[in-house]
Amino acid sequence: MRFYFHRITGGIILLAIGLIIWLSNLGIIHVAWRRDWPVILIVIGIIELVKHIFKR
């Protein structure tokens, strides 16, 4: 069960990143990667923290 949860979380993260890049390329949203990359790291950190909390 644990391995399955990690695979789903990894897939969701990749899906979200791909969706952001796609919407940026279409001009629907504007993402300035030089400005916004720390936010992506923060979100990944929050996801890892939540996984650690629920693992207990």
Please check the confidence at residue 24 and state whether its pLDDT lies above 60: yes
Query: Cα(26)–Cα(29) distance, rounded to whole angstroms?
Result: 8
Written as six digits, the tokens of 55 are 């693992």
Sign, CA dihedral 26-32-34-38, equals negative
Under a CB-based contact definition with an 8 Å cutoff, are residues 30 and 24 in contact?
yes
Kindly report, residue by residue over 5-16, the tens digit of the pLDDT. Answer: 566 777 777 788
Q: What is the pTM of this model?
A: 0.53
